[in-house]
Amino acid sequence: MALLELNRVSKRFGGLLAVNQVSFSINEGVVAFIVGPNGAGKTTLFNLIAGVFHPDEGNIHFASKEISQLSPDRAVHLGIGRTFQIVRPLRNLSVLENTMLGAFLHTRSPAKAAEEAEKVLRFLQMGNAMHLPARGLSLPMLKRLEIARALATRPKLILLDEVVAGLSTSEALALAELLRRLPEWGISAVAGVEHVMQVVMRMADRVIVLDHGTMIGEGTPQEMVRKPEVIEAYLGSKYKELGL
């Protein structure tokens, strides 16, 4: 069953068509990655799904319900969790407190929120950093904190916007290994944006390729890295690095 469905979705910023007639669906149990060059519209697409922006044309359905005009707050309540490409925790709160903010979505009890946040943080191997202030965390830890906050909201769909960007290859692959276990958290589907092709190849069931706001391909990672339009618009030298 399709958990998320986009039907001819477009979004303009003034004269710029950032997302152009994009249609795809993500079924339950699927990990889908959106790739494409800088400025392709990937984050804008996430913002449309998460209710930050609304489509100028087309519509979006989540769990068979139209969500095109929903606020971000309502989207989170429906089970759409997300991370931000630019990490921005509340710097003076601890790692645990930042994660509890996610858990407060479904409980008013600070004790319950703390318990849930602790579980999530241990899963993400951040147990030792729990009581540190968010300011001063290293980038790999900040990225994990972003994921922790999203996980603590108990999403059905999680939107991960470049969570391994800026990490070393070994850190990126270690995080990817953890992300493969997201279904343990009751997450039905994952949508990620990522430039690190090794991670995309390892994690994705489906890959959606965007270029200048338009979808230029959709399929398995293996299909996409062989598609001439995708190689030309995006992969280029990355294709050679992969040695496929």
Ligand X SMILES: Nc1ncnc2c1ncn2[C@@H]1O[C@H](COP(=O)(O)OP(=O)(O)OP(=O)(O)O)[C@@H](O)[C@H]1O
The answer to whether the CB of 165 falls within 8 A of the CB of 194 is yes
CA 106, CA 11: separation in Å to the nearest integer? 31
Q: Is 38 in the site for ligand X (CB under 6 A)?
A: yes
Nearer to ligand X, 40 or 80 (CB): 40
Nearer to ligand X, 42 or 143 (CB): 42
CA 70, CA 54: separation in Å to the nearest integer? 8
Q: Which two tokens stand for residue 189?
A: 């589907």
The only residue of 4, 6, 26, 40 in contact with ligand X, by rule CB under 6 A: 40
Return the range that interacts with ligand X (CB under 6 A); candidates 34-42, 54-62, 87-95, 128-136. 34-42
Question: What are the residues facing 61 on neighbouring strands?
Answer: 5, 66
Question: Shortest Cβ distance from residue 42 to Mg ion (Å)?
Answer: 5
The answer to whether the CB of 10 falls within 8 A of the CB of 19 is yes
Return the range that interacts with ligand X (CB under 6 A); candidates 21-29, 31-39, 98-106, 138-146. 31-39
Rounded (5°) CA angle 215-200-198: 130
Nearer to ligand X, 40 or 175 (CB): 40
Question: How many residues belong to the site for ligand X (CB under 6 A)?
Answer: 12
Q: Is 81 in the site for ligand X (CB under 6 A)?
A: no
Return the range that interacts with Mg ion (CB under 5 A); candidates 53-61, 82-90, 138-146, 183-191. 82-90
Q: Is 39 in the site for ligand X (CB under 6 A)?
A: yes
Return the range that interacts with Mg ion (CB under 5 A); candidates 4-12, 40-48, 51-59, 222-230. 40-48
| Bridge pairing between strands 31-35 and 206-211 | parallel
Q: How far is CA 34 from the centre of its chain?
A: 9
Q: Which residue is nearest to Mg ion (CB)?
A: 43
Binding partner at 16 among ligand X, Mg ion, none, C-beta below 5 to 8 Å by kind: ligand X
The only residue of 20, 22, 33, 36 in contact with ligand X, by rule CB under 6 A: 36
Judge residue 177's burial from the number of C-beta atoms within 10 Å of its C-beta, 0-12 exposed, 13-18 middle, 19 or more buried: exposed
Question: What are the residues facing 27 on neighbouring strands?
Answer: 2
Q: 3-state DSSP call for residue 79?
A: coil
Q: Which two tokens stand for residue 171?
A: 């850190």
User: Which parts of this chain interact with Mg ion (CB under 5 A)?
Assistant: 42-43, 85
Binding site for ligand X (CB under 6 A): 13, 16, 18, 36, 38-44, 85
